[in-house]
Amino acid sequence: MSKWVYFDKDGVVYGYPSQVDVDVAIKDSTHILVEVKSSVSRGDVSEFSRVGRLYEMVTGIKPRLVMVTPFIDDRGLEAARTLGIEVYTDV
C-alpha cells in the first residue's frame, strides 16, 4: 500500500502535462486506487475516472476506483455510479 505519483506528460487527466497523485494505491491480485476527500462533486468524480484511465494506460492493469468522503452531492453520486466508482460516505 502506497501513494501513487506519476507525471502525466500527455495531459490525460487535466488536459496539459502535470503531476498526478492518488492518496492510496493497493497492489495485490487487484489494484485499488483510493481517493480520500472532505467533499466530492461531479467534477472530482470525473477527474478520478481520468486518473484511473491514466493508471491503466501506464500499468496495463485496470484499477478498482474507490472514493472515501463524508459528503458527496447528488450529481457526484450519480456520476460515480455511471463511471463505476465505489463511494463510501455518510450520505
Region label for 43, one of left (φ > 0), alpha (ψ between -120 and 50) or beta (otherwise): alpha
What cell numbers appear for 82 in the block? 455511471
What is the per-residue pLDDT for 28?
Answer: 84
Q: How many angstroms separate the Cα of 75 from the Cα of each of 80, 84, 91?
A: 9, 14, 13
User: What is the maximal distance between C-alpha atoms in the chain?
Assistant: 36
Q: What is the CATH number of the domain that holds 34?
A: 3.40.1350.10
Q: Give the domain extent around 60.
A: 2-88
What is the per-residue pLDDT for 91?
Answer: 59
Q: Global pTM?
A: 0.92
Provide the strand spans (E) within 2-85: 2-8, 18-27, 31-36, 64-68
Pairwise CA distance, residues 58 & 73, whole Å: 31
pLDDT at 80 over 90: yes
pLDDT digits (tens, 9 = 90+) for 19-41: 999 999 898 889 999 999 999 99
Average confidence (pLDDT) over 48-77: 96
Domain count, the chain: 1
pLDDT at 69 over 80: yes
